[in-house]
């Protein structure tokens, strides 16, 4: 079983005149007996692109690739 938590955060942009930048987060944990792991993904500039769903999809792809090896 894999459990996960999503989140977003607003941080200041690269200079004092820029607006806030939205970060998307996802943390997943698999505590199975054969190969437990924890993975955390942070994606920059996710506003208007699906927020933390982008991080979820990247983690899902990583887990699928990891599981197939």
> Is 90 exceeded by the pLDDT of residue 40?
yes
For the full predicted model, state whether its pTM sits above 0.85: no
Is the pLDDT at 1 greater than 90? The verdict is no
Residue 33: what pLDDT?
Answer: 81
Distance (Å, rounded) from C-alpha 62 to C-alpha 37?
12
pLDDT of residue 39: 95
Q: Which residue in the block uniquely carries the two structure tokens 């208007």?
A: 48
- Per residue in 17-39, pLDDT (tens digit) is 677 889 999 999 998 888 789 99
Dist CA 46 CA 16 (whole Å) = 20
Tell me the pLDDT tens digit for each residue of 45-58: 898 888 899 999 99
């Amino acid at each position: 079983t894999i459990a996960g938590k999503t989140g977003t955060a607003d941080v200041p942009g690269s200079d004092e005149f820029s607006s806030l930048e939205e970060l998307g987060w996802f943390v997943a944990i698999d505590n199975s007996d054969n190969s437990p792991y924890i993975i955390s993904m942070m994606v920059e500039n996710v506003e208007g692109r699906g927020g933390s769903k982008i991080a979820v999809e990247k983690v899902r792809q990583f887990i699928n690739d990891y599981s197939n090896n």
